[in-house]
Amino acid sequence: MKRCIVAIGWLVLGLTYIQGQPLTYEKADSLKIVSLLKSTNHRTTLDFARQFLGIPYVAHTLEVNDEEQLVVNTRELDCTTLVETVAALTLCAQKDFRTFDDYTRLLCQLRYRNGILNGYTSRLHYFSDWILDKERMGFVEEVQQPNPPFSAVQRLNVSYMSSHPNSYKALAAHPELVKEIARQEQALTGKTCRYIPKAAVKHTKLMRSVVKDGDIIAITCSKPGLEIAHLGFAVWKKDGLHLLNASMIHKKVVEEPLTLYQYLAQHKSHTGIRVIRINN
């Protein structure tokens, strides 16, 4: 059954439920997704990512409902929703999925633990948690070899969300959820992974052989309670590796004019990069 409802000013059309939960989107979102999936010109991760260049950077676009719903918003993106949107499109194209229903099912599988939408705490809020869960589901693989350039080890120590619950709409409204978030943080804390320190993110033959166009780049950081500061996609240019990202600085999706080495050097708390590849 189809119906139209209004949620926080967003028109919800077409497929109204996924996994028994309401779905939030606008007609423009479904039209754009279907157009991209039906086009034979956009099949690689970078092809899809470049279709969002110029889209405004907007934070907290998943926090528009009182109860957790799958939100599809291609008109406003942050670094995480850009990565999820493009990853879902890439995986759909690999499977020759062409419908909006196909896309929303895959996006749901990517955004939530074990692919199951079951409230706010089922969303994968820490990207390290996302990597581990999507590796288990067979969607991605984290690249951690060879050494060098993967010469550094990150030991996770996450606590930011449970330490700053008032910074999150859902946690401020439902403090009883903080306990589950803290449990998830404790499960992540102590895990280790290899990454490329920022001093090594240079234009070398080794780096070109290790990092591929369209790889997901997760920027590691030294901020207390956090492990990842920013996300984007790898883009190789003549002068080296660049980052395609939803940029708070530029206020839109861009291919950074600076090389990634230069970009990292400008941010003291950035320590290096982790590399995640979408499986074929």
Three-state DSSP at 279 gives coil
What pLDDT is attached to residue 14?
43
Three-state DSSP at 248 gives coil
Three-state DSSP at 87 gives helix
Tell me the C-alpha distance between 203 and 122, whole Å.
Answer: 39
What pLDDT is attached to residue 40?
75
Beta strands in 62-201 (DSSP E): 70-71, 140-143, 152-155, 192-197
What pLDDT is attached to residue 42?
67
Task: Please report where in the chains the tokens 């950077």 appear, as a residue.
Answer: 57
What pLDDT is attached to residue 259?
98
Q: How much is the pTM?
A: 0.93
Q: Report the alpha-carbon angle 211-251-26, nearest 5.
A: 95
What pLDDT is attached to residue 79?
98
What pLDDT is attached to residue 85?
98
What pLDDT is attached to residue 2?
32
Tell me the C-alpha distance between 157 and 19, whole Å.
Answer: 32
Tell me the C-alpha distance between 29 and 136, whole Å.
Answer: 29
Tens of pLDDT, residue by residue, the chain (280 residues): 333 333 333 334 444 677 777 899 999 999 999 999 999 776 899 999 999 999 999 999 999 999 999 999 999 999 999 999 999 999 999 999 999 999 999 999 999 999 999 999 999 999 999 999 999 999 999 999 999 999 999 999 999 999 999 999 999 999 999 999 999 999 999 999 999 999 999 999 999 999 999 999 999 999 999 999 999 999 999 999 999 999 999 999 999 999 999 999 999 999 999 999 999 8
